[in-house]
Structure 1
Amino acid sequence: MNPTQKSGAAATDLEQMQDEFDKVWGNPRGWRALTIVNHTTIGLRFLVTGAFFFLVGGLLAMLIRTQLALPGYELMEPDVYNQVFTMHGTVMMFLFAVPMMEGLAVYLIPKMIGARDLVFPRLSALGYYCYLFGGLILLSSIFLDLAPKAGWFMYTPLSSSAHTPGVNSDFWLLGITFVEISAVSAGVELVVSILRTRTNGMALHKMPLYVWYILVMAMMIVVGFPPLILGSILLELERAAGMPFFDVARGGDPVLWQHLFWLFGHPEVYIIFLPGAGIVSTLIPVFCQRPLVGYRWVVLGVLTTGFISFGLWVHHMFTVGIPQLATAFFSAASMLVAIPTGVQIFAWLATLWLGKPVYKVPMLWLVGFLIVFVAGGLTGVMLALVPFDWQVHDTHFVVAHMHYVLVGGMVFPLMAGLYYWLPHFSGRMPSAKLGRWGFWLFFIGFNVTFLIMHWTGLIGMPRRVYTYDTGLGWDMPNLVSSIGSFIMAAGVATILLDIILHFRFGVRAPKNPWNADTLEWATSLPPSAYNFVSLPDVTDRHPLWKDPELPDSIARGEHALTVIDHGRRETWGSDPLTGKVREIIHLPGNSWLPFIASVFLAALCLSLLNKAYILSIIATMATLIVLLRWSWENGAHPAAAPDAHTQPGEPPLHSRTFDGPGLWGMGVTLLANGALYLSLLFGWFYLWTVSPQWKVPDSGLNGWLMLASALLLSAGTLWLHRLIKHLRAGTHSGLMQQLALLGCIALAQSAMLLWLMLTAGLAPTETAHDAVIFVMLAYNLIHCTLAAVLTGLQAWRVSLGYVGDKAPYEPVVVEQLWYYNLGVLWISYAAIVLFPATWGGA
């Protein structure tokens, strides 16, 4: 056979292999597109939906600036204005900023780490639909004239039913909680995917910097969002059921809401900033054609920023009466966070100084970011000084600072990233001329709008006022700000036009058009659903600079995991530290279950809004049934792992190990769950020590029964631990029977908790004390019941052969839930039984 015949045969084999990959990984069309779980499609859906909400938020901003352009102008009535500014902040913070950055990460992360998909594809799809439906429910309130109007921060008591009757605030509480499910699910997905699905050889110290930023951001979401979810649940329980968590007269405290909100709110500022900074750290080396200066220092700065951000929440509460020692501590911490941020900024500047930057359109946005964000950071340090904060708190100075930080730290890098990755999305290059016009209009308009707003605040204009009188010195600054906002809107329109036109008229993008160094540019443009025909080994932080031919060798199938005739979607499962391959993770395919589950969750949200509680119970049960059906097809089930054998010499499938991705998913989910519980515990001790009307009634809570319940759970957990130990050693006997008995123990323990709640004589609508105890006991009851159901499910799966010696890892996943429940129940016992007995009270 001559060389031409050999190359022709190789091309035929490659085409056949790609066809087989397309059959297994391909996305359906029409209505069945709702079943797609592939990360590329889900990420693009997040980006498109986020862009839509950005335009909605921008339109609301234009209404605000039009209203404030002239003194005494009455475009909107005060009530409508309150709705508009509340929805502007809500849409931009909750429906645009975080979901947009998560969507970009969902699209990019598997490609950057050399994986074929995220580790829980169906969870990504569920998260997107929750985001879409939650956002639409919240947005519908505008057209129903029922939009929330208590501010995007929903401070109590203004947002309580006494001061904001109707369902306006309920739209916010239920809609935002629905959206937060999406955020937390994406956080769990990204953390586990980064730690467990990197391609062979990509150790932690070889990860692209963008991946480091997303890992820290995702961990912050997992820990930082649950306090707001808890606060929203408690406030909705107060509004709908009369439980007085924030009512001073009945033992609550409205400042508790501020603590819960800003426990989420201040980390969210960095959750928004860090992905933007990750884009900057990715693009600057590309446009300077040299590695970033100080890789290890930047990683340390990112980790430190994420850690410190959780100690700054009182920064927003200096004027509410915080003790002087606390204000001094949080003021110092607020200034301290500038140090790791400064490390990153100096690394970027040093790279620009040592390199030869090329000022293409993405680079213009990066320069704009450096100017705007540094200015916003400096005013942030000013606000960290308590005396200065007292002077400008709740003025337009704070509005200006917030926009300089959030728009500078998020929108500018995002625009740079969109122009940089547009060829990846579409396979076409955008217009350089329109891109430059869009940048300059946006940059000039933004600074005209918000730079002068610092002065407006310094001369006393409060935020959130719907109009103002003439002669206060605010007329000209407001008019200039409003003119600037229209210039900025023209910039957004130009950018949007450029993006739309480039899909039709853009020049075809060459391979790796920017000569980038990261693996996402090793895919085809636009990428296939499986990203890589073969998964490469990575031995360098800059794989495409080290081996420019790597994309071609990947496409020719010269690397690993190219067998597809078994019909499974597969990617590597790697060691979290070293990146060495440990197993093959088989990924679920397209499914209706995420969409159906999100529809039932939306029905639950709508039924609660309409006080249709019977329907809400039905929707809850339907959701649980769908989720149980979902979990049934996991692990070694034939639908999840057809032909569960691997090739000779290959690692085992993850369902044949004790350390599959479900174990990590459960661990990170319980971390989020623990953050929610600790927020509830914080509320208990906060009200106990601060609330002036806190009362400890003689509730009759049976401490001995709760102790017996905890001891029973301890015995069951110890039994399960020994069972798992024998399963690992291969010496177990009667696995199904033992799991069934353990399920009965968990059910009996749940029954004891239910009896405790029913016989305790709690009055959760009369005192905050009893309301917190009621929620804490309900929390324990729900989790113990869940453990009973999942353990019983494991026993059933053992009987069908889905769990056993050859597929052992599922019981290990459930074991984590038992340990978590054990810890939470003992802590609850100490908090609501031992603590009152020690410090006084019945």
Structure 2
Amino acid sequence: MDTPAPGADRADLDRLDANWAERPSLRSFLTTVDHKRIGRRYLVTAAVFFALAGISALLMRTQLANPGGDLLSPEQYNQLFTMHGTAMIFLFATPMLFGFGNFLVPLMIGSRDMAFPRLNAFGYWVFLFAGIFMWASLPFGAAPNGGWFAYVPLTGGQATPGLHLDVYALGLLFLGVSTTAGAINFIVTALKMRAPGMSLNRLPLFVWAIVATAFMVIFALPALNLDNAMLFLDRRFGAGFFDPAAGGNVLLWQHLFWIFGHPDVYIIVMPGLGIVSAVLPAFTRRGVVGYPLVVLAIVAIAIISFGVWAHHMFAVGLPQVSYGFFSAASSIITIPSGIQIFAWLATMLLGRLVLRTPLLFVIGFIITFVLGGVTGAMFALTAFDQQVTDSYFVVAHFHYVLVGGAVFPILAGIYHWLPKITGRMYAERLGRWAFWLVFAGMHITFFPMHLYGLFGMPRRVYTYPAGLDWDGWNLVSTVGAYLLAVGFLVVVVGVVHAIRRGRPAPPDPWGGDTLEWSTDSPPPAYNFPVVPRVHSLHPTWDARTAESTGPGATADRVLSEGRRTPLTSELDGRYERPVEMPEASVKPLVLALALLALFVSLLFAWYPVAAAAVAVVAGTVAAWLWPGRRPEART
């Protein structure tokens, strides 16, 4: 900041900068715990994994453009198909949305960092190393090749020898460490680090969505971790968890996988819904209609999503009585989703629309997501589901849900918060071109899949014969895929252009309603010179909240001595005391590297090396948790 903020003098700002700023250096790069830098890293790393998964998709679509394609061998196709789905689900969607959460949640709630900054840094390094662990297998022909769902017995050691599924099981176990750490951090941050006065009924909808997602991760991920651990033990040591001859059960894999897998659809989509609720007020000039109902819908989705997993298994021969329960649950979950859709439509109807690129992507999201929801409701009907199971109709449905529910909101969020993240404005014309290319490419790619799915084309085939009426529609989908890729390339060009040549962004270019718009673009290392006192659901639009950072601000909210941020009560946001935040540390990186060594050694059966890695992990954790000097004892 060039001039002191009201309520904080130059000496306060100098102390804040000295305590919080991280000078550019290699050491700072490796040891940073700044949530903003970590959030940006999540966004960039997830975007790279998205590009790799997208290139895989283009190769598959090129293979399927015409009957009898020979660009890829069956084994190459299986590996690309599996890595595409695995990367999009596990390495792109959730980490990208958690990247937005890392950057924005502390800013939205008036905090100076996440509750556990070093755990936050550790989570990023684990995510990066897990992604490299999985993608590095592809050039060696050892990538996972059993589909992103890895159904047994086709993924057992006898049916699929080699390291392929070992990479899958160990890679997802490794990644689960990062996801779990991030979820815990979001929950504690949102409950305990809010600015004074920000009671739960004043919490931004995006933060509600992130917290609900974090709770879903905590309860859903153990099922997937258990599944992958048992698969690895089956393959490596013949444990027999999924082998009926050894007393195991083949369907156990599917039950555990989808107990995680269906909540994971909403783990992916929920932060996207939160982005939509955050973008709309700035471009409709009013708050989201029905805030309490939208919060209730978020919580209801998080709960009901755990009761619908078996609708992925309607064709496996479950007891008939179970079909009615899961069909009903699958229908009921459309109600809270519909509440949010109608709330957003009412907000646009009652507000004054400012048709900029972020709002265009929100409108594209609503159209696409509703179409995906319609086919989702069709899958809730057991008879229909059994007819189209394992056809391209299913592929069309989940791409409409996941591209509509995650990618469109992500793009809306990129354009909405790009000025805040980079301090630069994007070119509106490039943004509009990007929207129309992505919107047209998405529907040209995936809508025809409904048709040739109904015409009988099965999923997961690397080629097909001519004369089955699939030829033309597959060609259309392939053309749409390349158009979609051009749209994403224009997004990248727009972001790079903004960073290099965009005009400087003001603190609040859109007239947003949440606290991140009340600080500089990009925010300083300490986020807020004066910790605000919140008096409204829309603090940036509220005069009393603005006054709380004015000349009358007290020292307990300037907090310029040390790296301190307020601790507040869980429900009402009452100020309790300041807490000292940890400084930059190399321990998160060392611990992540030790875990990488552990999983690599398990993959190659280097068990003595694995034992040594466990010892390094234990030692690093002990050093991390060893009590340091009390702040008042420091010299």
State the one-letter code of the partner of 1:415.
Answer: L
Give the Cα separation in 2 of the matches to 1:458 and 1:312: 24
Counterpart contact for 2:196–2:574, Cα < 8 Å? yes
Residue equivalent to 2:563: 569
**TM-score, normalising length from structure 2?**
0.97
Query: Which SS does the other structure have where 1:27 is aligned?
Result: coil
Mapped to 1, the partners of 2:579 and 2:341 lie a distance apart of 38
State how 1:184-223 maps to structure 2 within 5 Å: 184-223=180-219
Q: What is the rounded CA distance, in whole Å, between the counterparts of 1:320 and 1:457 in structure 2?
A: 20
Contact (CA 8 Å) 2:422, 2:522: kept in 1 or not? Answer: yes
Q: 2:18 aligned to 19, 23, 28, which one?
A: 23
1:110 is the counterpart of 2:99: no
Cα shift readout 1:63-99 (whole Å, capped 9, x = no counterpart): 1100000000100000110001000001100000011
1:83 aligns with 2:75: no
User: Which residue number in structure 2 is paired with residue 39 of structure 1?
Assistant: 35
SS at match of 2:174: helix
In the TM superposition, what whole-angstrom CA distance separates every residue of 1:231-280 from its partner, at most 9, and x where no partner exists?
11111111112111001100001110111111111001001111111111
The correspondence of residues 382-531 of structure 1 with structure 2, limited to 5 A, is 382-531=378-527
C-alpha change, 1:73 and 1:115, in structure 2 (3 Å) is same
Cα distance in 1 for partners of 2:222, 2:576 equals 32
User: Residues of 1 paired with 2:545 and 2:569: CA distance?
Assistant: 27
Please give the per-residue CA displacement for 1:564-597, whole angstroms capped at 9, x wherever unaligned: 34xx311111111111012222211100100000
Write the distance in 2 (CA, Å) between the matches of 1:412 and 1:356: 22
Asked if the contact 2:531–2:549 (Cα under 8 Å) also holds between the matched residues in 1, the reply is: no
Answer yes or no: is 1:625 the counterpart of 2:619.
yes
**Cα shift readout 1:484-538 (whole Å, capped 9, x = no counterpart):** 0001001001110010011111111122100011001111110112101111111
Alignment partners' CA distance in 2, 1:540 and 1:9: 25
2:587 partner amino acid: L
Corresponding residue SS for 1:573: strand
What is the CA-CA distance between 1:15 and the residue it aligns to? 2.8
Q: Is the 8 A contact 1:536 1:560 kept in 2?
A: no
Residue 560 of structure 1: how far off its partner (Å): 3.7
Task: From the superposition, tell whether residues 459 and 35 of structure 1 become closer, same or farther in structure 2 (CA, over 3 Å).
Answer: same
Q: Which whole-Å CA distance do the structure 2 matches of 1:171 and 1:530 have between them?
A: 40
- 1:28 deviates by 3.7
Cα separation, 2, equivalents of 1:29 and 1:360: 35
Check the 8 A contact 1:50/1:99 in 2, yes or no.
yes
Preserved CA contact (<8 Å) 1:535 1:554 = no
Is contact 1:71-1:475 (8 Å) kept?
yes
Matches within 5 A, 1:285-684: 285-547=281-543, 550=546, 553=549, 560-565=556-561, 568-633=562-627, 637-638=628-629, 641-643=630-632
In structure 2, give the amino acid aligned to 1:37: V
Distance of 1:249 and 1:569 partners within structure 2:
60
Deviation at 1:19, TM superposition (A): 2.0
Unaligned runs of 5+ in 2: none
Where 1:202 maps in the other structure, the secondary structure is coil
In structure 2, the partner of 1:677 is: none
* 1:253 lines up with 2:249 in the alignment: yes
What is aligned with 2:92?
Answer: 96
- Tell me which residue corresponds to 1:821: none
Q: Aligned partners of 2:495 and 2:548: how far apart in 1?
A: 29
Shift of 1:287: 0.8
Task: Give the whole-Å Cα distance in 1 for the aligned partners of 2:437 and 2:3.
Answer: 53
Alignment of 1:632-781 (within 5 A): 632-633=626-627, 637-638=628-629, 641-643=630-632
Letter in 2 for 1:422: L
Q: Secondary structure at the match of 2:632?
A: coil
8 Å Cα contact 2:8/2:529 also seen in 1: no
SS in 2 for 1:225: helix
Residue-by-residue CA offset, 1:759-814 (whole Å, 9 max, x unaligned): xxxxxxxxxxxxxxxxxxxxxxxxxxxxxxxxxxxxxxxxxxxxxxxxxxxxxxxx
Deviation at 1:370, TM superposition (A): 0.6
Instruction: Return closer, same or farther for 1:501/1:328 CA change in 2, 3 Å cut-off.
Output: same
User: Is the contact made by 2:67 and 2:466 (CA closer than 8 Å) also made in structure 1?
Assistant: yes
CA distance in 1 between counterparts of 2:587 and 2:19 reads 19
How far has the Cα of 1:142 moved from its partner? 0.5
Alignment partners' CA distance in 2, 1:8 and 1:65: 55
Is the 1:281–1:348 Cα contact (8 Å) retained in structure 2? yes
SS of 2:531's equivalent in the other structure is coil
- Percentage of pairs with the same residue: 46
Distance 2:161 2:544 in 1: 63
Q: Distance in 2 between matches of 1:358 and 1:146?
A: 50
Q: In structure 1, what is the equivalent of residue 260 of structure 2?
A: 264
Alignment-derived partner of residue 793 in structure 1: none
For 1:214, give the aligned amino acid.
I
Counterparts in 2 of 1:562 and 1:210: CA distance versus 1, 3 Å: same
Larger radius of gyration: 1
**Which residue in 1 is equivalent to 2:9?**
14
2:227 is paired with a residue of what secondary structure?
helix
Partner in structure 1 of residue 139 of structure 2:
143
Distance 2:57 2:118 in 1: 35
Secondary structure of the structure 1 residue equivalent to 2:462: coil
Confirm whether residue 73 of structure 1 aligns to residue 69 of structure 2: yes
Q: Which has the higher contact order (CA 8 A, sep 6+)?
A: 2
RMSD: 1.8
Alignment CA distance shift 1:548-1:538 (3 Å): closer
Q: CA contact under 8 A between 1:363 and 1:416: conserved in structure 2?
A: yes
3-state SS, counterpart of residue 607 of structure 1 = helix
- Contact (CA 8 Å) 1:14, 1:557: kept in 2 or not? no
1:571 maps to amino acid: T
Counterpart AA for 1:575? S
Q: Provide TM-score, normalisation by structure 1.
A: 0.73
Could you tell me how far 1:556 is from its partner in structure 2? 9.7
Please state whether the residue corresponding to 1:507 is helix, strand or coil: coil
Residues 346 and 569 of structure 1, relative CA distance in 2, 3 Å threshold: same
Distance 1:10 1:220, change over 3 A: closer
Paired residues in the alignment total 632
Distance 1:479 1:643 in 2: 69
CA deviation map 1:610-631 (0-9, x unaligned):
1000110110111011001101
Task: Tell me how far apart the structure 1 counterparts of residues 547 and 619 of structure 2 sit (CA, whole Å).
Answer: 44
- Secondary structure of 2:158's counterpart equals coil
**CA–CA separation in structure 2 for the residues paired with 1:271 and 1:573:** 28
> Which residue identity is paired with 2:387?
Q
In the alignment, which residue of structure 1 is the partner of 2:119?
123
Which amino acid in the other structure matches residue 507 of structure 1? R
